[in-house]
Amino acid sequence: MSASIRLIGLEAAKAQLASMGKSVDPVLRGAIDTTAVDVRRRKYVPPMAPMFKSRRFVASRIILKKVRLRKKIFDARLIPSSSGVYVTEFRRWGFLPVSPTRARIIVGSFKGSRVAAGFVNPASFARQPWRTRTERRTAKRTYRYESALKPAIGPSIAFFFKRLTNRDTLQFANRRLQNEFQRRYRKELIRAAA
């Protein structure tokens, strides 16, 4: 999923700085990188952090690719991990029994809960979430448990990231980029005039 942000006044700023023998590139790069960091820190990590064991865990799974000035690529990207998250990394998880020895795993989400891929044995003393593996045989789907028990996996960070990327997030990013660009641009004008 990609969303673009528009910057107003870039061409005028570019022309004015060029007339003073300066480039707009460092100003633009700084504004884009700062905006990307701020959007991740304010719009993605705080809503997701309560669902997982730590804020750092969420931040580390939303990779920031900064502007590459050498290649003249003026975009910064936030790339959420699409790998499933172990159920035990969720702050809240539970299970809904479907039989005496099998239960469906649920994990806490923004509003309510989501079903995770796996099972819990409610009759067990430990009641740990274990992974299942899906196999297809002809047209019928059958479930088969892993030969060695592995921890169950819940929704990925990308799943939650996609739900948080909405109009409000994009408007925030637009405003933040515009303000940061203007702040850096004015600073560069003062420096060039001195």
Q: pLDDT per residue over 20-29, tens digit each?
A: 888 888 888 9
For the whole model, what pTM was predicted?
A: 0.82
CB atoms inside a 10 Å sphere around CB 148: 6
CB-based burial, 111-134: b 16+ in 10 Å, e otherwise: eebbebbbbbbeeeeeeebbbbee
The mean predicted confidence, pLDDT, of the chain is 85
- CA–CA separation, 160 and 170 (whole Å): 16
Which of the two residues, 43 and 142, has the higher pLDDT score? 43
pLDDT tier for residue 189 given thresholds of 50, 70 and 90: confident
pLDDT for 155: 93
**pLDDT at residue 165, as a whole number:** 93
The reported pLDDT for the residue numbered 70 is: 67
Name the burial class of residue 22, with classes exposed (0-12), middle (13-18) and buried (19+) by CB atoms within 10 angstroms of its CB. middle
Q: Are strands 77-80 and 62-65 parallel, antiparallel or unpaired?
A: antiparallel
What does the pLDDT average to over 176-185?
92
Looking at the chain, the whole-number percentage of residues with pLDDT higher than 90 is: 48
Q: What is the DSSP string of 88-106?
A: GGBSSEEEEEEETTEEEEE
